[in-house]
Each structure stands twice: as C-alpha cells, then as structure tokens.
Structure 1
Amino acid sequence: MTIEAKPEPIRIDLGKCAVLVIDMQNDFGAKGGMFNRAGIDISPIERAVAPTMRAVAAARSAAMPIVYLKMQHTADLANAGRFAAPHWIKHKPLGVGETVVSPDGRPSRVLVEDTWNTDILPSLTPIEGDVIVPKHRYSGFFETNLDGILRDRGIEYLVVTGCTTSICVESTIRDAMFRDYHCLLLEDCTGEPIANDSPRSNHEASLLTVQLLFGWVSNSAQFVKALAG
C-alpha cells in the first residue's frame, strides 16, 4: 500500500510490516505513574492514546504484527546502570525503583518489571498474538531481542507509535534506520512533554528530524485510510 507522508508518500509491503507501540505504559501516560508523580505534564501522551488505538485496531484487522516495547528494570535494578552511570543519574530524580502505591491500592514500584507502573495502558492492552519486548534503555534495540523478532518475521517496514517522541521513539527509529528498516512515524500517535509549552516543541523537532533523515512521517488517519483502500 501507499501512504501519504512527509517528505513524500511511502509504499509499504504489508506482508513485511509491523507496528511498534513504544512505552505506552502507566509510568508515562497514567495518573499515578512516574511522570505524573514527578509533576510532568502527561497530556501529550494521553492525547496520543485514541489515535494509537485506531491505528492498532486497523493494523490487527490487516493481520499486521503488533510489537509492544516496555521500559522497565529488574527488581534489583541491575540493568539500570552502575552507580553514577548516566542512565541512573537521569532516572534517579524520577524515583526509579521506589516503592509506591498504585491507584488501585496495590503496592508497586517505579519503572520496575511486573508491577502496575510498567503495565501497558488499559486501553492499549496487548491481546493474544501480540509481541511484548522489555527494554531498559531508550532504544528498543539496545540489548533486546527486537531485531531478531523482526528479522524472523521478515519485517522490513515499521509503523511507529508511542512515547516519548524525542526520547524513546526517536532513539528507536534511529537504531531501526541504522539496521535498514523503513520507519513511518504516525505523528498523532506519539506525545512529548519536553518543551510542550515552547514556541517549538521537542515533538515537532523530532518529527522534522525523522522526515528529513531517518524515515517518514504521517498520521493515523492516513494509515487507516491506506489500509482500508
């Protein structure tokens, strides 16, 4: 199929295409999650949920694989980086590893696997047949089996959704491009709190970077339309 996109339309082989849903989990997009507890505005991520639901539903109807990436660390935080490593330094102020109480009253931990905090947002809960890939750095390809999963399925095209646009989404797209995947980012299916109230947001800057040098940019309406056609 051909999808209208920037900087030009992109033709995608449906039999070689998968959808990535990056980090659409409670810690980033839900009340009581890590971002919300830290006073970070999660509304850009919340706005991306409904378009992502429509894109994922359309992709499932077309029998496209759906791959969820989840940002999480082991309970002992062994994969969070050594003490004073940059990843640890940047995440410690956000409370990574701290014990908290989830909105439903259960004990949980910030950005730790097998807890409410790292569960996928309820409206985007994976179904049987979807693939879930845990990750512990911004890029979905760093020390994960994502590349192997995609190669085994013959995937060459990635339709990318998730959060946040300029961090985990852009990091994953960069690594995908280095591995020769064709990436189509759906701009309304991603959100970015950083500089959201600035004249030009990080979200907008990442969209421009992607369409110029790393892939293509479209939206959920164009994606759904192309699949219907």
Structure 2
Amino acid sequence: MQFEPWIEERVLARQGVLHPYDTLDAATTAFVIVDLQNYYTQPGYQGECAPARAIFDKVNQLAAAMRAKGGKVIWIKTSADGADQFWSHHHRHMLTPERSARRLLELGSGHAGFAMPPALDVQSGDLTVVKRCYSALAPGASDLDAVLKAHGLLTVLIGGTVTNVCCESTARDAMMLDYATIMVDDALAAVTPYEHVHSLNNWMLFFGDVLTVDEVVERLV
C-alpha cells in the first residue's frame, strides 16, 4: 500500500522506520482471518461485503505460506447466538428491529450464514475461534488471546472483513495486548475503498504496520 507523504513522515518521526519488521518468525506468528463467513461475503445475506470475495485468493495464498513455514492460521467466526441478550444495546438501539432479527437468524451457529465459503482453503490443521462481538480480543468476546498464548504466538497478521470494523477492532486490541500486529492490505476488504484506505491510514499512524501479502511472505523465516 502506498501511503501519502505526510503519513510516512509522521510514522518515520515516531518510530524511525516505515516498516519496523525486517523478518517475521513464522513459528511465533499467526494469520488471523476475521469473519470471512457466508454472512459477510456471499450475495443475499444482510452483512454482505461484496469486495471480500475478491480477497479470497490472497487469503489462501498467505494461509498456505504460513503453513509451509510452520506458522498458525486462525479463522475467526462471529456467532450471534444469544446476542440479543449479551449485546442487547447493539441489537435494540443500533439496528432496526428487522435488521436485528435478521442478524440473529443469519449469524446463528446453525445457519448457513455462519459457515465458511468453499472457495476458502480452510484446512484441518488450522485453528477456529468463535467470537461474539466486533473484536475477538474484547473481554469475554472469545478465547483468541488464550489460544495465541498457548501456542507461543507473538505476532498477529490480520486479514478478513470488514477492514474498518471487526478487523480493525481485533487488531487494535491485539496491539494493546502487546502483540506485534500487522494489517495485511490485500487480504482485507471493506464495503468501500474509502473505508478500507482510511482505516489503514489511521492504523499506520498510531497502531502498527501495514504490509501486502507478498511483503509478508518475503519476511517469513
């Protein structure tokens, strides 16, 4: 991703280099892929982010590279089971009744919307973590932090959808929990290019690095 000069200048002033990681130790790195479920990627679902379908090949490419180098691939899936209770404010006040009911239905763990599209290369050796809200690392949202720690993982690569919502929320919390955190530009998708770019600009300014899939693969050791 090409950043505007003023962004590069501020990043350089803060940390001295534009990209702080010359190499990435695959053995302590996880590729965390957020919400590429049918609900968020396929036509006909309320949560469809149509551009997400275009990143499937890049996600598969990086997942394969991680496996080949001994890294971990972690698929994050959102479940709305019980969300009208544990996330009641969101469902009662930030969604219309119709949208709330549809989210609860289509993201239920027994619905096809919860499943992963067959175009994604989800393998038996990968890990799957189910989350309850935007950030997989918010208190009580999932056991992602425990999974990362159990496997000795120190670096988190974030892919999936939507860039500026669940992906950025999870990435911010990962950074706050002291993981080295990288947003992977072409393995992420938002509803509009504007939202995607502005999310990554803000991320780069304050929180962590942004690399492409090819740039990540070049650094894996």
Q: Identify the match of residue 99 of structure 2 among 91, 95, 99.
A: 95
User: Structure 1 residues 79, 152: CA separation in 2 closer, same or farther (over 3 Å shift)?
Assistant: farther
Task: Indicate conservation of the 8 Å contact 1:23/1:163, yes or no.
Answer: yes
Q: Does 1:73 align with 2:73?
A: no
Amino acid aligned to 1:70:
K
Task: Indicate conservation of the 8 Å contact 1:34/1:94, yes or no.
Answer: no
* Structure 2: gaps (5+ residues): 1-16
Partner of 1:51: 58
Partner of 2:133: 137
Partner of 1:147: 145
TM-score, length basis structure 1? 0.80
* Structure 1: gaps (5+ residues): 1-5, 37-41, 100-107
Task: Indicate conservation of the 8 Å contact 1:79/1:136, yes or no.
Answer: no
Q: Identify the match of residue 163 of structure 2 among 165, 170, 184.
A: 165
Alpha-carbon distance in 2 for matches of 1:94, 1:123: 30
Q: Identify the match of residue 123 of structure 2 among 106, 127, 132.
A: 127
Map 1:1-229 onto structure 2 (within 5 A). 7-10=18-21, 11-36=23-48, 42-74=49-81, 76-82=82-88, 85-92=89-96, 95-98=99-102, 109-142=105-138, 143=140, 144-193=142-191, 196=192, 201-227=194-220
Relative to total residues, which structure has the larger helix share, 1 or 2?
2
**1:78 CA drift (Å):** 4.9
Q: Deviations over 1:45-89 (max 9, x none)?
A: 122211111111111111211111111111x5455522xx13543
Aligned sequence identity (%)? 24
TM-score, length basis structure 2? 0.82
Amino acid aligned to 2:46:
M
Q: Deviations over 1:95-137 (max 9, x none)?
A: 34439xxxxxxxx931111321011122225221211111111
Q: How many residues align?
A: 202
